[in-house]
Homo-oligomer: A and B are copies of this chain.
Amino acid sequence: MILETRHSIHEILSRQPLFRGLADDELREIANGTREYRAKKNEIIFHSGDTVEGMHVVVMGQVKLSLPSSQGMEKVVHVCGPGNTFGEAVAFLDKPYPVNAQATAESLLLLIPKRVLLDALELSNTLCRKMIASLSVRLHEMISDMETCLLRNSVQRVVCFLVQSAPESGDSFEVSLPASKQTIASQLNLAPETFSRVLGQLSEAGLIQVRGRRIAVLDRQRLIGFSG
């Protein structure tokens, strides 16, 4: 993949959802303090427990946030794609990162240091309100994830995931998995083996067709009905 190199940080920032529509001089202040960096596939960006530098913005590529467990296992909390940010919440508290961050593809990112971010928020009410909106979305997603993981069984979790990934609202559609099956399984709090078995089971029942990372949902309604 050839990564973006031409555009100034200022211009890149202005294209991110969180900063779009900000006054030009506000943005310039932020851009001045922002550092661009790259991460290769599988590169660790930070570990749980590291001290927080600031807010990270995924410009291109993909970053996986995961909770480490005692025996070297990990539970994927979130997968960030282009336009997503991470580390901001913890930048406002005085705590270390609670998760690991690892690139799952070659990625281009921005780092807005804590200090720069706090100063910008002090000056720009617009940015503050965008930040509030962004945090709210994350909180909402988190509730939804807990719902999926904690009060559904394995089949329901997978069905739930497929349905939520539906681009259109048609009765049949195709989902292209946004990450490896292991990663998806971990997000759903399933062993990879179980995830595979459930997909097999749904195929068996003629509800979906699996071809690598592409999954065709043949009948949305019957799929939903299958779990309840």
Contact = CB atoms under 8 A, between A and B. Distances in A.
A89 B150 contact: no
Interface string A122-142: 100100110111011111101
Contact of A93 (B121, B131, B136): B136
Contacts of A136: 88-90, 92-93, 135
A8 interface: no
Contact of A139 (B70, B89, B125): B89
Contact of A98 (B122, B140, B151): B140
The majority secondary structure among interface residues of chain A is helix
A67 B89 CA distance: 24
A24 to B, nearest CB: 20
Nearest to A71: B151
Nearest to A189: B150
Interface in A89-111: 89-90, 92-93, 95, 98-99
A73 interface: yes
Given A70-B228, A90-B136, A151-B69, A122 B121 contact: no
A150 B75 contact: yes
Interface string A161-182: 0000000000000000000000
A77 interface: yes
A144 interface: yes
Contacts of A132: 92, 121, 128, 131-132, 135
A64 to B, nearest CB: 15
Interface string A55-82: 0000000000001011001010100000
Given A122-B129, A129-B128, A136-B89, A67 B146 contact: yes
Given A67-B143, A121-B132, 8 more contacts: A73-B151, A125-B128, A132-B135, A135-B139, A138-B139, A142-B146, A146-B149, A149-B150
